[in-house]
A = this chain, B = another copy of it.
Amino acid sequence: MFITNGWYCAAFASEMGAPFARRILGQPVLLVRDASGAPHAMGDRCPHRFAPLHKGSVIDDRIECPYHGLQFGMDGRCVHNPHGDGRIPGAAKVPVYPVVERDGLIWIWMGHPEAADPSSLPDLHLIDRSSRPIVGGHIMMDVDYRLVLDNLTDLSHAAYIHAGTLSPSRAKRESTNEATSHSVAVHTVMRGVPTPSSQALYFDQPVGDYHSDIEWIAPGIVRQQLAMTACGEDADAGAVTRNVHLITPATATSTHYFWMHTRNRLMDDRSIDEQTVAIITNAFTTEDEPMMAACQDYMGGKAFFSLKPLYLATDFAGTRCRRIVEGLIAAENGEGGHADADAMTDEIA
């Protein structure tokens, strides 16, 4: 169902403070900062009568269960039983999940804790915004996370469902793909196209070249550079945005979608920040999410490949991405799955 051994975005750093709960890979997770400001992630379910711990009080960095008052340290261990002789049963603990705070985000590792290596977290390649507030958002999507990955790794949909918002016209796309055992990238150029409204906020020419570089890194990071340039220029010379899309499964049919946007033009213009939030939120919630939900409905609960989907040239990245996810899940389950890119080439050709 899910890859567990990997870093997922759990929250924006700015969300953290008092305890709150979020469902991640099907598990109820309590997120909280301790008095020193360090972030923590713990199981939200009290092992006594299964109450939601995040509804309790925090007393000296201990979470008090709201139902019967057991207190848990942020290392997950029960440290106080107010009842009877106060003895604490050995099983009185909740899981703790490794977390890392980086790039304004809280990253969580839901799998084997000993495998959680912060150095495996890739650089997000964002444009430095120094102390300016982040432009971003968190959207709950009522769809299987793999439909979201499909959506992001094949931007050919943009010309259809984002016509007039995020996407230039249906010009010829030139694309190349790259894949490793844990990632897939797609590089696309569309030449001499009208500037889409999202880029027109900070790129003042009506026509130019549109450069898109998008890369998925397992399990849930998508890095994206979009650039509008004068016709024929290199992407780096243009109005560049660097964005991330962080896809974290909540349940089998719902997904957290965190996104962040940075740009190299008019970086201090707060009104462009606000318009960007509005344009992206509108596109993701009124264009992408309803389409993915409709597809999920028409899939009728069946597994994707069992429905024998058509394979088009634009599906290289999405298909590879799904096969890598399948392989990593099978490997975690000891099923002899593999995520070897070469071995899969024939299968999807």
The interface of chain A, by Cβ under 8 A from chain B, is: 28, 44-45, 47-52, 55, 64-70, 81-85, 89, 91-92, 150, 154, 156-157, 159-161, 170, 173, 291, 294-295, 298-299, 307-314
Q: Which residue of B lies closest to A56 (CB)?
A: B160
B48, A310: Cβ atoms closer than 8 Å: yes
- How far does the alpha carbon of A89 sit from the alpha carbon of B348 in the complex, in Å? 13
Q: A312–B48 contact, CB under 8 A?
A: yes
Evaluate contact between A154 and B312: CB separation under 8 angstroms: no
Chain A interface, >50% SS class: loop
A295 and B51 form a contact (CB under 8 A): yes
Known: A68-B157, A85-B313, A313-B83. A308 touches B91 (CB 8 A): yes
Chain B residues with CB below 8 A from A70, complex form: 310, 312
The contact sample of 9 A-B pairs, CB cut-off 8 A, is A47-B310, A49-B295, A51-B294, A52-B295, A55-B291, A68-B157, A69-B160, A81-B312, A84-B313
Contact of A91 with B310 at beta-carbon distance under 8 Å, contacts A154-B68, A161-B67 already known = yes
CB atoms of B314 and A68 under 8 A apart: yes
For A156, what are the chain B residues with a Cβ–Cβ distance below 8 Å?
Answer: 68-69, 82-83
Whether A49 pairs with B150 at a CB distance below 8 angstroms is: yes
Inter-subunit contact B84/A51 (CB<8 Å): no
Q: Are A50 and B83 in contact (CB under 8 A)?
A: no
